[in-house]
Amino acid sequence: KAGVTQTPRYLIKTRGQQVTLSCSPISGHRSVSWYQQTPGQGLQFLFEYFSETQRNKGNFPGRFSGRQFSNSRSEMNVSTLELGDSALYLCASSRTSSYNEQFFGPGTRLTVL
Amino acid sequence: GENVEQHPSTLSVQEGDSAVIKCTYSDSASNYFPWYKQELGKRPQLIIDIRSNVGEKKDQRIAVTLNKTAKHFSLHITETQPEDSAVYFCAASNPSSGYSTLTFGKGTMLLVSP
């Protein structure tokens, strides 16, 4: 079974721009969660989607948003990029919203200049 | 919300020694505790997890123990090998909330020297 995939793997943007990241979960998994990983803050939860609905949201500004499609693929968007948004963005999938074994994708490395 | 503390932040051991990483959590409703291993440049990988209805779980050289009363859980790696070198993250979750949300500790960098 194919694992979680994320595209693109690397992105370089400038301040003020916006970016869209994509995540394809493991086949049959319906829940997708997004995390931001930085050296200083570690892994921080952004949001979780299940059946095209945002089920939970972390403590991030409204510039961070996401969505999920009917095939469970998910996208996250960051608008008006700031230098501090530079991070590794990881998505993780699980079978259902309350089935906790989560499997991570390889991440998208975002650099904001 | 949940808060997870992880210690130590770095751990150096000799090959063959044991390594122990400890985590504490704040939300008594949490009852799922996974451990992830992240090698340099790679994705976090689930290596073992424990649910609150058991106190210990083993898988070959790794084991996890859970003390719900004290709200702490630990990862034990025996007979460490150089390929165990990585960053290890503990996490806590409350599945009865209906969410998969994991709250992570800050990570422990484990270095196993030959």
Subunit contact B95:A99, Cβ cutoff 8 A: yes
User: Which residues does chain B have within 8 Å of residue A58's beta carbon, measured at their own beta carbons?
Assistant: 101
Subunit contact A100:B95, Cβ cutoff 8 A: yes
Q: In this predicted model, what pLDDT tens digit does every residue of A39-96 receive, in sequence order?
A: 888 999 999 999 999 988 999 999 999 999 999 999 999 999 999 999 999 999 998 7
User: Which residues does chain A have within 8 Å of residue B107's beta carbon, measured at their own beta carbons?
Assistant: 42-43
pLDDT class for A101, splitting at 50, 70, 90? confident
User: Which residues does chain B have within 8 Å of residue A108's beta carbon, measured at their own beta carbons?
Assistant: none
Cβ pair A6, A91 in contact under 8 A: yes
For testing contact with chain A, the best of B2, B6, B43 (most A CBs within 10 A): B43
> Sign (positive/negative) of CA torsion A65, B89, B45, A26?
negative
Query: In degrees rounded to 5, what are phi and psi of residue B82?
Result: -55, -35
pLDDT value at A98 more than 70: no
